[in-house]
């Protein structure tokens, strides 16, 4: 292993340029053995972290980003024990070679950790106060910490169990535990991925504040460049278990040197992404960590690829465009400006003239939850939804968790009976659905061919006819015919999503329902799937209802956007109009919470969390979180009213209506 010609420590930290680094990682290799095969999670990582800086570690699944974070904590999974080479020095302790007790004391004195899912990361059978006191020492200190991380009524919360708190509060408790005892370094592994967009923004802001107050360093591990961009001083981009690029956050985001970083930034769904045609994408999929290519792991997906890339692993060298470093032998070659986007989607005909494929009229749906013997609680999932999707039109439905958007999809699909209202469908084939977790939507023990062919059984076509149409459907989504023999476990995440699409479209439905089909996919794959959806729906003439929590994705996918809050549509209108000039305070807040890469990233934050659908607030359900709420909002539930002079931009907001221009 040759070490890099440029020491990573030369990358100046903006905080304390002269202080010795807090963490120094050199030539780190981590290998796990799974099922008799080596999984090479990290393959020679050099990195340093200065005191008081926030380092964003960005990568896709399998890039080794979480392993990097856990190895700093000395908490890699131990069954079977991983093989480590190289060195990690954290606060003067050699983590690779130290014994368990030394590592434990290091964690106790100097380190803190925040994990992805606050539900599973807190002990479910221990009170918050006791869990905090384990690190905080005294109850008074625990209260102070809870107060510092913004938990209301901290004294009372000490007696709570984790399941009695909301997701955002749980993550705040987790953060309080991480910063207890004034650690020098806090490792945060995807701390906001399991949270709602508006809560994510609050948590990221909190991390920034804490760094300023406590002066400790943070490692922010994330798959989302936008999240890293919010608070990081420096960003390290990981690919295939190696560092692709490291540099000051602004440099990496604005003048990326490595082709992968460039590709990642271009395939991000921002509010400026192009809508007229397919999105730019990275070809292929991230490498399988069980079989890395001998050369640059990114070579198979790289547009600058030359033969030399396949032969040797590239070392980190000066990035050229900025003072950071990047691992690429083609840095001198200027990366082509974005390819001229000649391809454009064909024009969709005007919406109003066409028959609706789906028409929802005042749809209500409650769920009864048992909360003990003979006592029931009612969850109001849908509280009067009116929505139309025209033939061939794409509508994006945006909302946070618990707003009822998935319930609505299932009701339209006929998987759930509704309590009140009407769902009218067009005359075409029954709606089909693409699920968030495509892998889970494929029956594991049946082959792809059987699964797709099942939809043709009711059509009464023969075996050879079925096989032919299965092959055609696979071809349409870009999969080779041999996939028909495979089962779901043998497919990659991207392939599974394509199979799910092929199954849904082998007999093209009148309307295709999509339940967050890209949220479980890597950034570089999401754009590919969105392009495929865009092409398929136009080629097959399907209407589409696309559920997402991401306004960026909604703007790209939808002809129109509908925003949902607590079982009601609060705003609906042409996609570009809703995304650029939102009228409802909630839509405005959602827009403000989209993690952006640019300088305009800081906008107004929304306080609190979505109210529980078990007890929707009176009047306008949004009023407890709304900065523009007036007294009438507490009592009057506003109707959707059309903005004058717009093409069907409708908003349900009392104060907005009062301001005029509506009706």
Partner 1 sequence: MTQFVLKRLAAMVAVLLVLAATVFVLQRLTPTDPVHAMLGGNASKAMIAAEKHKLGYDKPMVAQYVDYIGGLLHGDLQMSLRTRRPVATDLGQYLPATLELTLFALVVAVVLGGLMGIATAARFRGSGVLRVVLLSAASAPSFLLAVLGILLFYRKLGWLPATGRSSVANVPTGPTGLLTVDGLLHGRLDVVTDAFKHLVLPGLCVGIGPAMSIGRVLRSSLVNTMRTDYVRTARAKGQRESVVLLRHAVRNSLGPALSMTGLQVGLMFAGVVVIEQVFAWPGIGLYTIQSIPRTDFPAIAGVTLVLGAGYVIVNAVIDVLQAAADPRIAL
Partner 2 sequence: MALAEPYVAPALRGRFGRTRRRTRWSSVSHVDQIAIGALVAVTLLAVVTPWIAPHSATRPAGTSLVHPFHGFVFGTDEVGRDVFSRVLYGLRTSWLAALLVIASGVLIGGLIGLVAGAAGGWIDNVLMRITDAFLSLPGPILAIAVVAALGPSLSHTLIAVMIVWWPFYARIVRGEVRALAARPHLEAARLAGVGRVRLAVRHLLPGAIPATVVTASLDVGNLVLTLAALSFLGLGAPAPAPELGAMAARGLPYLLEQWWVPVMPGLGVLFLALVSNLAGDGLRDLIGDR
Task: Enumerate binding residues for partner 2 (CB under 8 A).
Answer: 35-36, 262-263, 266, 278, 280-285, 288, 300-301, 303, 336, 338-339, 341-343, 410, 413-415, 430-433, 435-437, 440-446, 451, 454-455, 457-458, 478-480, 482-483, 486, 489-492, 495, 500, 503, 528, 531-532
Among 45, 58, 122, 512, binds partner 1 (CB under 8 A): 122
Residue 616 region, left (φ>0) first, then alpha (ψ -120 to 50), else beta?
Answer: beta
Residue 338's binding partner among partner 2, partner 1, none (Cβ under 5 to 8 angstroms by kind) is partner 2
**Under the criterion CB under 8 A, does residue 111 sit at the interface with partner 1?**
yes
Per partner kind, with CB cut-offs from 5 to 8 A, the member of partner 2, partner 1, none near residue 443 is: partner 2
Between 23 and 451, name the residue whose CB sits nearer to partner 2. Answer: 451
CA-nearest of 433, 451, 430, 405 to 565 is 405
Q: In angstroms, what is the minimal distance from the CB of 166 to partner 1? A: 16
The entry of partner 2, partner 1, none near residue 117 (CB within 5 to 8 angstroms by kind) is: partner 1
What span, in angstroms and rounded, lies between the C-alpha atoms of 330 and 642?
Answer: 54
Backbone angles phi, psi at 399, to 5 degrees: 180, 165
Which residues from 146-175 bind partner 1, rule CB under 8 A?
161, 163, 174
Q: What is the DSSP string of 286-333?
A: PPPTTS--SS-TTGGG-TT--GGGGTSPPPEEE-SSSSSEEE-TTTTS
Instruction: Pick from 108, 468, 602, 644 the residue near partner 1 by CB under 8 A.
Output: 108
Separation in Å, CA 438 to CA 180, 457, 488, 508: 40, 22, 9, 18
Beta-carbon contacts of 517 under 8 Å, excluding residues fewer than 6 positions away, are 434, 435, 436, 438, 497, 500, 529, 533, 546
| 349 or 485: CB nearest partner 2 | 485
**Cβ neighbours of 156 (radius 10 Å):** 11
Tell me the two tokens of residue 449: 């061919």
658 binds, among partner 1, partner 2, none (CB under 5 to 8 A by kind): none
Distance in Å, CB of 400 to partner 2, minimum: 21
Residues 36-95 that bind partner 1 (CB under 8 A): 73, 75, 77, 79
Phi, psi dihedral angles at 444 (to 5 degrees)? -60, -30
Is 376 an interacting residue with respect to partner 1 (CB under 8 A)? no
Of 108 and 290, CB closest to partner 1 = 108
Query: Residue 396 in contact with residue 560, Cβ under 8 Å?
Result: yes
User: Phi first, then psi: what are they for 624, rounded to 5°?
Assistant: -65, -20
C-alpha to C-alpha distance for 487 and 484, rounded to whole angstroms = 8
Residue 30 contacts which entry, partner 2, partner 1, none (Cβ below 5-8 A, type-dependent): none
When CB distances are held under 5 to 8 angstroms depending on the partner's kind, the choice from partner 2, partner 1, none that residue 135 binds is partner 1
- Scanning 13-21, 98-106, 344-352, 581-589 for contacts with partner 1 by CB under 8 A, the matching segment is 98-106
Q: Is 368 in the site for partner 1 (CB under 8 A)?
A: no
Tally of CA atoms within 13 A in the half-sphere of 262 that contains its CB:
21
| Stretch in the footprint of partner 1 (CB under 8 A) among 355-363, 370-378, 513-521, 542-550 | 370-378
| Tokens 């949270």, located at residue | 195
Question: Which among 364, 363, 356, 415 has a CA at the least distance from the CA of 545?
Answer: 356
Q: Which of 25, 50, 113, 545 binds partner 1 (CB under 8 A)?
A: 113
The one of partner 2, partner 1, none whose footprint includes residue 252, by CB under 5 to 8 A per kind, is none
Residues 577-596 that bind partner 1 (CB under 8 A): none
Residue labelled with tokens 């909604």: 554
Helix (H) or strand (E) run with residue 548 in it: strand 543-548
> Judged by CB, which is closer to partner 1: 74, or 638?
74
Could you tell which of partner 1, partner 2, none binds residue 647, using a CB distance below 5 to 8 A set by kind?
A: none
- H or E stretch at 525: helix 523-540
Residue 602, Ramachandran bin (φ over 0: left; ψ between -120 and 50: alpha; else beta): beta
Determine the Cα–Cα distance for residues 330 and 322; give it in Å rounded to an integer: 15
Instruction: Decide if residue 221 touches partner 1 (CB under 8 A).
Output: no
Q: Is 372 one of the binding residues for partner 1 (CB under 8 A)?
A: yes
CB of 293 to partner 2, least distance (A): 12
Q: By rule CB under 8 A, what count of residues binds partner 1? A: 34
| H or E element that contains 213 | helix 197-214
Position 104 contacts partner 1 (CB under 8 A): yes
Residue 503 contact partner, candidates partner 2, partner 1, none, CB within 5 to 8 A by sort of partner: partner 2
Q: Please tell me the distance from the alpha carbon of residue 149 to that of residue 214, in angstroms, as a whole number.
A: 12
In whole angstroms, the minimum distance from the beta carbon of 144 to partner 1 comes to 18
Q: Is 124 in the site for partner 1 (CB under 8 A)?
A: yes
- Least distance (Å) from partner 2 to the CB of residue 118? 23
Q: Which is nearer to partner 2, 6 or 429 (CB)?
A: 429
Nearer Cβ to partner 1 (83/105): 105
32 is an interface residue for partner 1 by CB under 8 A: no
Rounded least distance, CB 455 to partner 2, Å? 5
| Partner in contact with 430, chosen from partner 1, partner 2, none, beta carbon below 5 to 8 Å by kind | partner 2
- Smallest distance from the beta carbon of 88 to partner 1, in angstroms? 16
User: Which of 30, 72, 59 has its CA nearest to residue 184?
Assistant: 72
> What does 321 bind: partner 2, partner 1, none (CB cut-off 5 to 8 Å by kind)?
none
| d(C-alpha 481, C-alpha 472), whole Å | 8
Torsion, Cα 301 307 309 310, to 10 degrees, reads 80
Closer to partner 2 by CB, 401 or 642: give it: 401
**371 near partner 1, rule: CB under 8 A:** yes
Closest approach of partner 2 to the CB of residue 337, in Å: 10
Distance between CA atoms of 284 and 74, rounded to whole angstroms? 33
Residue 334, number of CB atoms within 10 A of its CB: 9
203 backbone dihedrals φ, ψ, rounded to 5°:
-65, -40
Minimum Å gap between C-beta 313 and partner 2 is 21
Q: Where on the chain is the footprint of partner 1 (CB under 8 A)?
A: 73, 75, 77, 79, 100, 104-109, 111-113, 115, 117, 120-126, 134-135, 161, 163, 174, 177-178, 371-374
């Amino acid at each position: 292993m040759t070490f890099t010609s440029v020491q990573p420590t030369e990358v100046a930290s903006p905080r304390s340029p002269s202080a010795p680094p807090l963490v120094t990682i050199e030539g780190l290799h981590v290998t796990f053995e799974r099922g008799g095969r080596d999984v090479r999670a990290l393959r020679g990582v050099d990195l340093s972290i200065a005191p008081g800086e926030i380092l964003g570690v960005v990568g896709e699944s399998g890039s080794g980003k979480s392993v990097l974070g856990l190895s700093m904590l000395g908490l890699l999974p131990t069954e079977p024990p991983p093989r480590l080479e190289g060195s990690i020095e954290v606060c003067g302790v050699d983590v690779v070679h130290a014994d368990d007790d030394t590592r434990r004391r290091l964690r106790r004195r100097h380190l803190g950790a925040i994990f992805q899912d606050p539900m599973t990361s807190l002990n479910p059978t221990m009170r918050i106060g006791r869990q905090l006191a384990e690190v905080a020492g005294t109850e008074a200190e625990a209260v102070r910490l809870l107060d510092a991380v913004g938990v209301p009524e901290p004294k009372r919360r000490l007696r709570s169990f984790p399941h009695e708190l909301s997701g955002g509060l749980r993550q705040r408790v987790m953060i309080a535990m991480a910063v207890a005892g004034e650690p020098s370094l806090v490792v945060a592994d995807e701390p906001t991925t399991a949270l709602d967009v508006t809560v994510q923004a609050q948590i990221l802001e909190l991390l920034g504040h804490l760094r300023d107050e406590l002066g400790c360093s943070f490692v922010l591990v994330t798959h989302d460049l936008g999240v890293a961009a919010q608070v990081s001083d420096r960003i390290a981009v990981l690919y295939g278990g190696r560092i692709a690029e490291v540099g000051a956050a602004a440099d990496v985001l604005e003048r990326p040197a490595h082709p992968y970083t460039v590709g990642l930034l271009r395939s991000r769904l921002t509010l400026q992404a192009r809508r007229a045609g397919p999105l730019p994408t990275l070809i292929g999929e991230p490498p399988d960590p069980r079989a890395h290519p001998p050369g640059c792991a990114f070579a198979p997906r790289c547009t600058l690829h030359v033969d030399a890339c396949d032969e040797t692993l590239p070392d980190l060298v000066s990035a050229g465009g900025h003072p950071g470093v990047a691992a690429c032998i083609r840095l001198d070659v200027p990366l082509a400006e974005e390819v001229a986007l000649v391809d454009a989607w064909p024009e969709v005909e005007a919406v109003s003239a066409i028959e609706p494929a789906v028409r929802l009229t005042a749809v209500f749906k409650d769920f009864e939850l048992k909360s003990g013997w003979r006592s029931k609680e009612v969850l109001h999932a849908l509280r009067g939804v009116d929505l139309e999707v025209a033939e061939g039109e794409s509508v994006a439905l945006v909302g946070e968790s618990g707003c009822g958007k998935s319930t609505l999809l299932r009701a339209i699909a006929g998987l759930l009976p509704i309590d009140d209202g009407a769902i009218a469908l067009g005359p075409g084939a029954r709606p089909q659905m693409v699920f968030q977790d495509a892998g889970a939507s494929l029956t594991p023990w049946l082959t792809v061919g059987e699964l797709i062919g099942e939809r043709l059984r009711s059509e009464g076509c023969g075996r050879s006819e079925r096989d032919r149409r299965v092959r055609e459907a696979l071809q349409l989504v870009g999969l080779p015919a041999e996939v028909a023999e495979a089962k779901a476990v043998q497919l990659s995440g991207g392939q599974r999503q394509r199979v799910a699409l092929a199954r849904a479209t082998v007999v093209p439905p009148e309307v295709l329902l999509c339940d967050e089909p890209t949220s479980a996919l890597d950034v570089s794959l999401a754009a590919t799937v969105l392009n495929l959806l865009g092409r398929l729906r136009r080629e097959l003439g399907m209407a589409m209802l696309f559920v997402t929590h991401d306004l960026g994705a909604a703007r790209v996918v939808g002809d129109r956007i509908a925003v949902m809050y607590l079982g009601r549509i609060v705003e609906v209108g042409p996609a570009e109009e809703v995304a650029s000039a939102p009228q409802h305070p909630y839509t405005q807040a959602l827009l403000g919470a989209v993690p952006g890469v640019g300088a305009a990233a800081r906008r107004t934050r929304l306080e609190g969390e979505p109210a529980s659908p078990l007890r929707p607030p009176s009047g306008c359900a949004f009023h407890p979180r709304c900065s523009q709420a007036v007294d009438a909002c507490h009592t009057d539930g506003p109707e959707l009213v059309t903005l004058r002079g717009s093409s069907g931009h409708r908003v349900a907001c009392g104060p907005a209506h009062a301001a005029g221009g509506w009706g």
